[in-house]
Amino acid sequence: MSRFRRAVLLSLAALAAGLIVNQFHPEGIPGRMTRALFMSGRPFRRVSPDSAMAAHQRGAAVFVDIRDPREFRAGRIPGAENHPIQPFFRDFAAFQKSHPVDTAYIFYCFEPACREGRAMLAWMRRAGYRRVAWMYGGLSEWTQNRWPVETGEPNP
């Protein structure tokens, strides 16, 4: 067997092992999450922090904070739900059950670009959710504007 063939086989064996272990890994990247990440570059509907604030005041949208629970407790948009990316993709069926398709959702991160949020948005659109958007500027711009922030455990 040639050197190149062995190198290719070694690479393929590593890929196979990675994909298998990833299925059972507690911090693994679920397959649907990888697919959503491939779709996350598409131009999804985005809202400015000003429009998001207006929607928040009218109660017109559910705000989805995708950061980890520790960051979520440290400060969030009042009334926001916490759905970190990995649990979201691991159990999307549970999310679907408790979130109606016709409700408006606005995803946000801390940083402006929010690439994980866009991946989640891509997956929601694929599942039939049409009123979904992400807030550019993120929580960083929200806090810079000195708009209200909620801390601690969320209300049940």
Partner 1 sequence: MTRGRSAAVLILRFAFAVILGWASIDKILHPWAFSQDIVNYRVIGDGLSAVAAIWLPYLELFTAVCLLAGLWLDGAVLVNAGLMWLFLILVLQAFFRRLDIHCGCFTVKGESVIGPLKIAENAAFAAGSLALLLLEAGLKNRRVKNRP
Binding of residue 27 to partner 1 (CB under 8 A): yes
Binding of residue 13 to partner 1 (CB under 8 A): yes
Binding of residue 40 to partner 1 (CB under 8 A): yes
C-alpha span between 87 and 26 (Å, rounded): 10
The residue among 118, 73, 123, 114 whose CA lies nearest residue 95 is 123
CA distances from 66 to 29, 36, 118, 142, 146 (A): 16, 15, 10, 15, 21
Binding of residue 152 to partner 1 (CB under 8 A): no
Binding of residue 66 to partner 1 (CB under 8 A): no
Binding of residue 140 to partner 1 (CB under 8 A): no
Number of residues that bind partner 1 (CB under 8 A): 33
The residue among 129, 135, 65 whose CA lies nearest residue 99 is 129
Q: Which is nearer to partner 1, 13 or 74 (CB)?
A: 13
Q: Which is nearer to partner 1, 117 or 137 (CB)?
A: 117
* Minimum CB distance to partner 1, residue 121 (Å): 13
C-alpha span between 38 and 33 (Å, rounded): 9
From first CA to last CA, the distance across the chain in angstroms is 63
Indicate which single residue of 119, 120, 121, 132 sits in contact with partner 1 (rule: CB under 8 A): 119
Interaction mask 70-109, partner 1, x per CB under 8 A: ---------------xx-----------------------
Site for partner 1, rule CB under 8 A? 3-11, 13-15, 17-19, 21-22, 25, 27-29, 33-35, 37-41, 85-86, 115, 119
